[in-house]
Amino acid sequence: MSEIPEFLDQEPSPYSSDEPMPWYQVWIAAITKPNEQTFRDLAAQSNAKPGTAYLWIFISYLVTFIIVVGAQAAIGFPNIARQLSGYGMGDFPVEDMGGFLIGALVIAPFMAGIVVLFFMLSTALIQWIASLFGGTASYATLVYPFGAIYAPFMLASAMMSLLGLIPFIGMCFGLISIGIWVYQIVLQVLAVKAVNDLDTGKAAGAVLLPGLVLFVFVCCCLLIGLAAAGPIIGEVFSEINQGLY
pTM of the model: 0.73
Domain spans of the chain, in order of start = 6-244
What is the per-residue pLDDT across 96-121, written as a single tens digit (0 to 9) for each?
A: 556 666 767 788 889 899 999 999 99
- Class of residue 206 by CB neighbours under 10 A (exposed 0-12, middle 13-18, buried 19+): buried
In the predicted model, residues of the chain with pLDDT beneath 70 are 1-19, 72-101, 103, 161-174, 225, 228-245
What pLDDT does 90 receive? 44
Tell whether the torsion through CA atoms of 158, 162, 165 and 169 is positive or negative.
negative
> What is the predicted pLDDT for the residue at 69?
76
How many percent of the chain have pLDDT more than 70? 65
